[in-house]
Chains A and B, each alone.
Chain A
Amino acid sequence: MSELIKFVEAEYSEARTKFPSFKAGDTINVHVRITEGNKERIQQFQGTVIQRKNPNSNGETFTVRKVSNGIGVERIFPILSPSIEKIELLREGKVRRARLFYLRGRQGKAAKIKEKIRHRKDS
């Protein structure tokens, strides 16, 4: 990559470390700033991370899926977006793949993700 591109992208290196590290399978709560007219408020979106795309680039995004009133809702966030106020890591999941698209076809108990158990050594 060109030196100049690195120079421009370095501006966002701080924003990259602002949030806790999370990966596919984790349950997170995203606080998004929303402007309605002149007013600004914070909206929360809680769900399971089903993928992280284009890692380590300025265009990195992650997809959060939740089931709202029986309807699956997915939202894609750019991780460096200034409108993301906060990300809370609620639960780490134990999954065997990086993209959890198989959750889309599942409901109820079948869509459950096991929690990752951290042993004392790891933590």
Chain B
Amino acid sequence: MTSIFSADGRNVACTLIEAGPCVVTQVKNVETDGYNAVQLAFGERKEKNTPKPLIGHFKKAGTTPKQKVVEFRDFRVEFEGQVDLGKTVEAGQVFIEGDFVDAIGTSKGKGFQGVVKRHGFGGVGGQTHGQHNRQRHPGSIGACSWPSRVFKGMRMAGRMGGDRVKIVNLRVLKIYPEKNLLVVSGSVPGPKNSFVIIEK
């Protein structure tokens, strides 16, 4: 992340996203697949690290093996003609400055966390007045003889992070088409140099 200044002099926090060049590896339509979609591939990958079936799939599109393959449902009509098998899609073709986009990624793993961090519980409160060593505990998880069980979905401690997260309505502040670089406002899920899906 970094920050840039907007036209009205505000310092805006922003994230840089390398959004291309993507290669169209498959075009799905209603007749053959039952729905319309475009499959895009991004990022170079060595051939020896690529599964054989995928190598064949990339060969069909006439490209080198790629790292990430993602399907986009109902690619917009205005891009028709640009999205044929084997064609490249650049960031400058799809996005313009001022667009609102959604970013989908896998959030950073936080490990096994307690209820205060994981679910925003308040904790117990005070440390005095006879309070023992239970400052960040969940408290009661239900009643006694009825229902004699813990309800499903009760919020408890456990693994946190590493989920698929979607951040909506990030503004595209700037585009560098020659570098396929998007500058979007705010933060996106996941660690540095991770993959995110950008939807318009």
Chain A interfacial positions (CB closer than 8 Å to B)? 2, 4-5, 7-9, 11-12, 33, 58-59, 78, 80-83
Contacts and interface: CB of A to CB of B under 8 A. Distances in A.
Contact of A4 (B4, B9, B16): B16
Interface string B149-187: 000000000000000000000000010100101010000
Contact of B16 (A8, A33, A58, A83): A8
A100 B179 CA distance: 43
Given A2-B192, A58-B3, A59-B3, A83 B9 contact: yes
A5 B16 contact: yes
Interface in B18-61: 18
A82 B7 CA distance: 8
Nearest to A80: B5
Interface of B: 2-5, 7, 9, 11, 16, 18, 174, 176, 179, 181, 183, 192-193
Contacts of B192: 2
Given A2-B192, A4-B179, A5-B16, A78 B11 contact: yes
Which 10 residue pairs spanning A and B have beta carbons closest together?
A83-B9, A58-B3, A4-B16, A5-B2, A82-B9, A78-B11, A59-B3, A81-B9, A82-B5, A58-B2
